[in-house]
Amino acid sequence: MIRSDIIKELAPTIKETLTICNIGLPSQEMHMIDDQPSNFYMLGTMGLASSIGLGLALAQKSKVLVIDGDGSVLTNLGTLPTIANNVADNYLLLIIDNGSYGSTGDQPTYAGKKTSLTEVAKACGCETVIECKAEDTVQVVKDALAGDKMTVIVSKCDSGNIKVPVITMDPVVIRDRFMKTVAAQNT
Protein backbone atom coordinates (compact mmCIF):
# COMPACT_ATOMS: atom_id res chain seq x y z
CA MET A 1 0.00 0.00 0.00
CA ILE A 2 1.19 3.53 -0.76
CA ARG A 3 0.15 6.81 0.90
CA SER A 4 -2.70 7.54 -1.51
CA ASP A 5 -4.24 4.11 -0.76
CA ILE A 6 -4.23 4.95 2.95
CA ILE A 7 -5.77 8.38 2.36
CA LYS A 8 -8.45 6.85 0.09
CA GLU A 9 -9.38 4.28 2.75
CA LEU A 10 -9.24 6.87 5.53
CA ALA A 11 -11.35 9.57 3.84
CA PRO A 12 -14.85 8.31 4.87
CA THR A 13 -13.73 8.02 8.51
CA ILE A 14 -12.40 11.58 8.78
CA LYS A 15 -15.02 13.42 6.70
CA GLU A 16 -15.92 15.81 9.51
CA THR A 17 -12.68 15.66 11.49
CA LEU A 18 -10.57 18.81 11.56
CA THR A 19 -7.65 17.66 9.43
CA ILE A 20 -4.36 19.43 8.82
CA CYS A 21 -2.89 18.07 5.58
CA ASN A 22 0.82 18.18 4.99
CA ILE A 23 2.33 20.12 2.09
CA GLY A 24 2.54 18.58 -1.38
CA LEU A 25 1.00 15.27 -2.33
CA PRO A 26 -0.78 14.51 0.99
CA SER A 27 -2.78 17.76 0.64
CA GLN A 28 -3.30 17.26 -3.08
CA GLU A 29 -4.46 13.66 -2.64
CA MET A 30 -6.84 14.57 0.20
CA HIS A 31 -8.18 17.44 -1.90
CA MET A 32 -8.77 15.19 -4.92
CA ILE A 33 -10.19 12.23 -2.98
CA ASP A 34 -12.55 14.10 -0.63
CA ASP A 35 -12.33 17.88 -0.42
CA GLN A 36 -13.98 19.07 2.80
CA PRO A 37 -14.12 22.47 4.52
CA SER A 38 -12.78 20.68 7.59
CA ASN A 39 -9.50 20.10 5.72
CA PHE A 40 -6.72 22.65 6.03
CA TYR A 41 -4.38 22.26 3.08
CA MET A 42 -0.81 23.40 3.44
CA LEU A 43 0.32 24.92 0.18
CA GLY A 44 3.83 25.63 1.44
CA THR A 45 5.95 25.67 4.60
CA MET A 46 7.31 22.14 4.81
CA GLY A 47 7.43 20.62 8.27
CA LEU A 48 4.83 22.65 10.14
CA ALA A 49 1.68 20.50 9.81
CA SER A 50 2.20 18.92 13.23
CA SER A 51 2.81 22.34 14.83
CA ILE A 52 -0.26 23.95 13.24
CA GLY A 53 -2.32 20.98 14.39
CA LEU A 54 -0.99 21.21 17.95
CA GLY A 55 -1.75 24.94 18.17
CA LEU A 56 -5.26 24.23 16.89
CA ALA A 57 -5.82 21.35 19.34
CA LEU A 58 -4.66 23.45 22.29
CA ALA A 59 -6.90 26.38 21.30
CA GLN A 60 -10.25 24.59 20.98
CA LYS A 61 -12.11 21.40 21.88
CA SER A 62 -12.74 19.49 18.63
CA LYS A 63 -10.54 16.56 17.67
CA VAL A 64 -7.67 17.41 15.36
CA LEU A 65 -6.01 14.95 12.97
CA VAL A 66 -2.70 15.84 11.34
CA ILE A 67 -1.76 13.86 8.24
CA ASP A 68 2.00 14.26 8.17
CA GLY A 69 4.90 12.49 6.52
CA ASP A 70 8.21 11.12 7.72
CA GLY A 71 10.16 13.69 5.68
CA SER A 72 8.20 16.60 7.14
CA VAL A 73 8.55 15.38 10.71
CA LEU A 74 12.31 15.03 10.16
CA THR A 75 12.35 18.62 8.85
CA ASN A 76 10.75 19.86 12.08
CA LEU A 77 11.99 17.24 14.54
CA GLY A 78 11.73 19.73 17.41
CA THR A 79 7.96 19.34 17.12
CA LEU A 80 7.94 15.99 18.97
CA PRO A 81 9.22 17.31 22.33
CA THR A 82 6.78 20.22 22.07
CA ILE A 83 3.91 17.79 21.44
CA ALA A 84 5.00 15.53 24.30
CA ASN A 85 5.22 18.39 26.79
CA ASN A 86 1.98 20.15 25.82
CA VAL A 87 -0.54 17.36 26.05
CA ALA A 88 -3.77 17.93 24.12
CA ASP A 89 -5.96 14.84 24.26
CA ASN A 90 -7.87 15.98 21.18
CA TYR A 91 -4.68 15.75 19.08
CA LEU A 92 -3.84 12.89 16.77
CA LEU A 93 -0.67 12.93 14.68
CA LEU A 94 -0.65 10.42 11.84
CA ILE A 95 2.80 10.12 10.31
CA ILE A 96 2.51 8.27 7.02
CA ASP A 97 6.01 6.87 6.90
CA ASN A 98 6.94 5.73 3.41
CA GLY A 99 10.65 6.25 4.02
CA SER A 100 10.87 8.83 1.27
CA TYR A 101 10.32 12.43 0.24
CA GLY A 102 7.34 11.50 -1.94
CA SER A 103 6.45 14.92 -3.32
CA THR A 104 9.93 15.55 -4.68
CA GLY A 105 10.52 12.21 -6.39
CA ASP A 106 10.86 9.60 -3.66
CA GLN A 107 14.35 10.42 -2.47
CA PRO A 108 14.97 8.22 0.61
CA THR A 109 14.64 9.73 4.10
CA TYR A 110 16.56 8.59 7.17
CA ALA A 111 13.25 7.26 8.55
CA GLY A 112 13.49 4.59 5.86
CA LYS A 113 17.02 3.74 7.01
CA LYS A 114 18.29 3.52 10.58
CA THR A 115 16.00 6.10 12.24
CA SER A 116 12.73 4.98 13.81
CA LEU A 117 10.29 7.87 14.26
CA THR A 118 8.30 5.66 16.62
CA GLU A 119 11.28 5.38 18.94
CA VAL A 120 12.12 9.08 18.49
CA ALA A 121 8.57 10.06 19.47
CA LYS A 122 8.73 7.81 22.54
CA ALA A 123 12.15 9.18 23.53
CA CYS A 124 10.75 12.71 23.22
CA GLY A 125 8.16 11.84 25.83
CA CYS A 126 5.07 11.15 23.71
CA GLU A 127 3.07 8.73 25.84
CA THR A 128 0.86 6.99 23.30
CA VAL A 129 2.80 6.05 20.18
CA ILE A 130 1.51 3.33 17.89
CA GLU A 131 3.40 1.93 14.92
CA CYS A 132 1.20 0.05 12.48
CA LYS A 133 1.16 -1.49 9.04
CA ALA A 134 -0.45 0.50 6.23
CA GLU A 135 -3.38 -1.96 6.07
CA ASP A 136 -4.22 -1.39 9.75
CA THR A 137 -4.06 2.41 9.66
CA VAL A 138 -7.79 3.13 9.29
CA GLN A 139 -8.69 0.96 12.29
CA VAL A 140 -5.91 2.49 14.42
CA VAL A 141 -7.06 6.02 13.52
CA LYS A 142 -10.70 5.09 14.23
CA ASP A 143 -9.76 3.77 17.66
CA ALA A 144 -7.66 6.84 18.44
CA LEU A 145 -10.45 9.21 17.35
CA ALA A 146 -12.91 7.29 19.52
CA GLY A 147 -10.52 7.47 22.48
CA ASP A 148 -9.46 10.43 24.55
CA LYS A 149 -5.68 10.38 24.44
CA MET A 150 -3.14 12.36 22.50
CA THR A 151 -1.77 9.81 20.06
CA VAL A 152 1.07 9.58 17.58
CA ILE A 153 0.59 6.94 14.88
CA VAL A 154 3.43 5.90 12.61
CA SER A 155 1.98 4.09 9.61
CA LYS A 156 4.63 2.18 7.67
CA CYS A 157 3.80 2.05 3.98
CA ASP A 158 5.43 1.67 0.60
CA SER A 159 6.86 4.58 -1.28
CA GLY A 160 5.13 5.69 -4.50
CA ASN A 161 2.79 8.29 -5.90
CA ILE A 162 -0.28 8.70 -8.08
CA LYS A 163 -0.90 11.61 -10.44
CA VAL A 164 -2.85 14.38 -8.74
CA PRO A 165 -3.66 17.96 -9.73
CA VAL A 166 -2.23 20.87 -7.75
CA ILE A 167 -4.60 22.78 -5.47
CA THR A 168 -5.61 26.07 -7.08
CA MET A 169 -7.94 27.18 -4.27
CA ASP A 170 -6.90 30.52 -2.77
CA PRO A 171 -5.18 30.13 0.63
CA VAL A 172 -7.47 32.67 2.25
CA VAL A 173 -10.50 30.66 1.06
CA ILE A 174 -8.99 27.47 2.50
CA ARG A 175 -8.33 29.24 5.79
CA ASP A 176 -11.69 31.00 5.96
CA ARG A 177 -13.87 27.95 5.34
CA PHE A 178 -11.70 25.94 7.73
CA MET A 179 -12.06 28.54 10.50
CA LYS A 180 -15.85 28.65 9.99
CA THR A 181 -15.93 24.86 10.38
CA VAL A 182 -13.80 25.06 13.54
CA ALA A 183 -16.09 27.74 14.99
CA ALA A 184 -19.23 25.74 14.13
CA GLN A 185 -17.83 22.62 15.81
CA ASN A 186 -17.10 24.64 18.95
CA THR A 187 -20.53 26.20 19.43
Residue 175 in contact with another protein, rule: CB under 8 A? yes
User: How many C-beta atoms lie closer than 10 Å to residue 139's C-beta?
Assistant: 12
Reading phi first (left if > 0) and then psi (alpha if -120 to 50, else beta), residue 83 is in alpha
- State whether residue 153 is helix, strand or coil: strand
Residue 37 in contact with another protein, rule: CB under 8 A? no
Q: CA 126 to CA 109: how far, in whole Å?
A: 22
Cβ atoms 38, 178 nearer than 8 A: yes
Cβ atoms 46, 68 nearer than 8 A: no
Residue 48 in contact with another protein, rule: CB under 8 A? yes
Residue 139 in contact with another protein, rule: CB under 8 A? no
Residue 66 beta carbon to another protein: minimum distance, rounded to whole angstroms: 9
Residue 52 beta carbon to another protein: minimum distance, rounded to whole angstroms: 4
Residue 134 beta carbon to another protein: minimum distance, rounded to whole angstroms: 27
Q: Where do contacts with another protein occur on this chain (CB under 8 A)?
A: 20, 40, 42-45, 47-60, 76, 78-79, 81-82, 86, 171-172, 174-175, 178-179, 182-183, 186
